[in-house]
């Protein structure tokens, strides 16, 4: 026995993945060519697994803003926001995010992971209750572990199950924080947010919505699912990340409650980490303005997403329950998923491979971008058709009975 014994199962999975050729874990991008192209294994492939929903990672204006910040403010702050790490640009970004959402307060974090970790683990204290969706992101589960609150799960996207959980709490529901996501990162399904708002309001609980994968993707101004459904004024806290649609790194929390300013000074994930670099902040501010002011990128993204989702469904592949910029194909086994991932790569398409223990499903997870051209989507569809044909051939060859 040693400290490493518990990781032997994980090491075995990693070895299995590596034996098949290019390992799908931590695939090195040797050269980034564009928001939708990179060199992998010595050849150019279409990037269809990057969460670069609006294609802003190489936006010229964002790059220029980051370059100017590097020249004028240096490479980093070398301190936390509570010490020397708050520059005027950090405060400006917080004002701009609060304005985007029409909220009273905004807090900017160095990563999106920290935005959930800091907000949830701090809000839910020892006298409180935390109720989370069973399919919550790892950052939410980790926040629950750090929280000293009592923690309960409800069935994924089941508003009735959530209402029953809240009902059993009685008056204690007023000390409850419910956490859901706008778009879930594995299958791209959306929360039934109107029903969840109704349940939390009925029982006097508070609601936090993680819009990490719906920021920039939904809503007229790109605020996410809550804006899309006209529910922004019904949500107590919204968290999100800059590492998807914004194309940078960072996270945030916004709230209509002015008391969020008090919470800032108690968030360990905010207090005890270095603040985001000036260049990252500058690029994020430019990208957020583009996200807010134009719907053309969102329109293009959804055209691509709906087309790909329908094409894969028409092939007989098992895809997520609704069209989304995340188009995931569910498969039966790790071996089948790994073989299919390699087939896609051989066809010049990179997607994310997801297998247990990373999730409870075997997935080929594709994420669509506004930067994908019609020809890109054609090529992605053609690559998946090869996968579908291979899966069908294997199924036909299996003995019956």
Q: Are residues 159 and 148 in the same domain?
A: yes
Strand partners, 254: 106, 238
Q: Does 109 reside within a domain?
A: yes
- Section 189-217 average pLDDT: 98
Nearest in space to 140 (alpha carbons), one of 77, 208, 199: 208
- Quick one: tokens of 15? 């070895």
Q: Are residues 201 and 223 in the same domain?
A: yes
The three-point CA angle 123-104-195 to 5° equals 65
Calpha distance 327→320 (Å, rounded): 7
- Look up the domain containing 387 and give its range: 19-48+295-395
Q: Are residues 110 and 219 in the same domain?
A: yes
Q: Does 256 reside within a domain?
A: yes
Q: Does 274 reside within a domain?
A: yes
Q: Are residues 151 and 299 in the same domain?
A: no
Q: Are residues 253 and 389 in the same domain?
A: no
| Overall domain count for the chain | 2
Strand order in the sheet with 326-331: 318-319, 326-331, 362-367, 352-354
Q: Are residues 269 and 219 in the same domain?
A: yes
pLDDT, tens digit (0-9, with 9 covering 90-100), for 329-354: 999 998 899 999 999 999 999 999 99
At residue 374 the predicted structure's pLDDT band, cuts being 50, 70 and 90, is very high
Q: Are residues 284 and 344 in the same domain?
A: no
Q: Are residues 341 and 379 in the same domain?
A: yes
Q: Does 9 reside within a domain?
A: no
Q: Does 117 reside within a domain?
A: yes
Calpha distance 269→278 (Å, rounded): 19
Calpha distance 69→56 (Å, rounded): 18
Q: Are residues 199 and 97 in the same domain?
A: yes
Q: At 376, which CATH number?
A: 3.90.1150.10
Q: Are residues 197 and 340 in the same domain?
A: no
pLDDT, tens digit (0-9, with 9 covering 90-100), for 271-327: 999 999 999 999 999 999 999 998 899 999 999 999 999 999 999 999 999 999 999
Q: Are residues 150 and 289 in the same domain?
A: yes
Identify the domain boundary among 293, 320, 343: 293
- Residue 295 is predicted with a pLDDT of 87
Q: Are residues 213 and 313 in the same domain?
A: no
pLDDT, tens digit (0-9, with 9 covering 90-100), for 306-320: 999 999 999 999 999
pLDDT, tens digit (0-9, with 9 covering 90-100), for 75-122: 999 999 999 999 999 999 999 999 999 998 899 999 999 999 999 999
Identify the domain boundary among 293, 325, 341: 293
Q: Does 262 reside within a domain?
A: yes
CB-CB contact of 221 with 292 (8 Å): yes
Q: At 122, which CATH number?
A: 3.40.640.10
Q: Does 13 reside within a domain?
A: no
Enter the pTM of the model: 0.94
Q: Does 27 reside within a domain?
A: yes
Identify the domain boundary among 248, 275, 293: 293
Calpha distance 382→385 (Å, rounded): 5
Range of lowest pLDDT (146-155, 212-221, 334-343): 334-343
pLDDT, tens digit (0-9, with 9 covering 90-100), for 228-255: 999 999 999 999 999 999 999 999 999 9
Q: Round the average pLDDT of the chain to a whole number and report it.
A: 94
């Amino acid at each position: 026995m040693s400290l490493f014994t518990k990781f032997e199962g994980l090491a075995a999975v990693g070895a299995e993945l590596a034996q098949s050729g290019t390992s799908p874990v931590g695939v090195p991008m040797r050269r980034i060519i564009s928001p939708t192209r990179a060199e992998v294994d010595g050849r150019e492939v279409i990037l269809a697994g990057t969460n670069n929903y609006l294609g802003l990672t190489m936006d010229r204006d964002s790059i220029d803003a980051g370059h100017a910040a590097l020249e004028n403010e240096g490479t980093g702050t070398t301190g936390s926001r509570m010490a020397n790490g708050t520059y005027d640009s950090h405060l400006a970004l917080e004002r701009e995010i609060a304005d985007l959402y029409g909220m009273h307060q905004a807090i900017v974090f160095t990563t999106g992971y920290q935005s959930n970790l800091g907000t949830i683990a701090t809000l839910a204290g020892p006298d409180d209750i935390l109720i989370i969706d069973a399919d919550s992101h790892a950052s939410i589960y980790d926040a629950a572990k750090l929280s000293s609150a009592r923690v309960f799960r409800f069935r994924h996207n089941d508003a009735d199950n959530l209402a029953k959980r809240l009902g059993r709490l009685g008056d204690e529901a007023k000390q409850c924080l419910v956490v859901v996501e706008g778009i879930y990162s594995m299958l791209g399904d959306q929360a039934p947010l109107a029903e969840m708002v109704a349940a939390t309001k009925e029982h006097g609980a508070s609601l936090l919505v993680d819009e990490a994968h719906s920021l920039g993707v939904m809503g007229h101004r790109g605020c996410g699912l809550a804006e899309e459904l006209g529910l922004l004024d019904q949500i107590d806290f919204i968290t999100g990340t800059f590492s998807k649609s914004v194309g940078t790194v960072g996270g945030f929390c916004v709230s209509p409650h002015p008391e969020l300013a008090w919470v800032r000074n108690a968030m360990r994930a905010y207090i005890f980490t270095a603040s985001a670099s000036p260049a990252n902040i500058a690029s994020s501010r430019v990208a957020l303005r583009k996200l807010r002011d134009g719907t053309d990128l969102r329109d293009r993204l959804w055209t691509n997403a709906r087309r790909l989702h329908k094409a894969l469904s028409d092939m007989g592949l098992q895809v997520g329950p609704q069209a989304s910029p995340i188009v995931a194909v569910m498969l039966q086994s790790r071996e089948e998923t790994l073989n299919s991932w390699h087939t896609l790569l051989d066809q010049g398409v990179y997607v994310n491979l997801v297998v247990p223990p990373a999730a409870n499903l075997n997935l080929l997870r594709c994420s669509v971008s506004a930067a994908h051209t019609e020809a890109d989507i054609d090529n992605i569809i053609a690559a998946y058709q090869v996968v579908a044909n291979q899966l069908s051939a294997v199924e036909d060859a299996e003995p019956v009975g």
